Amino acid sequence: MAEGYLRFFTQDRAEISSAGLKPTIVHPMAVEVMNEDNIDISDAHSKGVDEFSGEHYDFLITVCREAELKRPADITASIHLHYDIPDPEETAQLQDPKEAFVDARERVKREMLRFIGMHDGLHQPEAPLTQS
């Protein structure tokens, strides 16, 4: 979700990569709730952090506690930001699954917009922002 929002909001003005600790398929419910916000992530594929070993980035954003705790030390960044957003697959077991993914989507969107707002060069003002 974070990758989808960053790609949408930056309109190709930034190189965006994302990875997970346990790469798997992109969850169908994530695709569904992002489509509701007019962002298509259906062609995204989950990549493992090992693919980025030894890389240095301008920005590194982690969006869940586990990713923050288990991030490989050899992936570095000039600026590292962490947003502790619960994994919707896990919270879906405690609440309505769709609601869990919508909640995660809204938190991710809010944090990615805040991130872009702190770094003016990334945001394309004429790009329409979605509302849900």
Q: What is the pLDDT of residue 122?
A: 61
| pLDDT for the residue numbered 114 | 92
Report the DSSP beta bridge partners of residue 59: 79
Residue showing tokens 């003016």? 120
Domain extent for 88: 2-116
Q: Which amino acid appears at position 81 of this protein? A: L
CATH number at residue 57: 3.40.50.2300
Number of structural domains (the chain) is: 1
Structural domain contains residue 130: no
0.75 exceeded by pTM: yes
Q: Is residue 123 part of a domain?
A: no
Structure-derived torsion over alpha carbons of residues 69, 75, 77, 83, reported in degrees to the nearest 10:
-30
Within-domain flag for 125: no
Asked if the model's pLDDT at residue 129 lies above 50, the reply is: no
Note the pLDDT tens digit of each residue in 40-66. Answer: 999 988 788 888 999 999 999 999 888
More confident residue, 121 or 106: 106
When pLDDT is cut at 50, 70 and 90, the band that residue 20 belongs to is confident
**What separation in angstroms does the CA of 3 have from each of 29, 60, 95?**
16, 12, 25
Dihedral of CA 116/118/122/126: which sign? Answer: positive
| Selected residue with higher pLDDT from 119 and 40 | 40
Give the per-residue pLDDT at 120. 64
Q: Residue 30: its pLDDT value, please?
A: 94
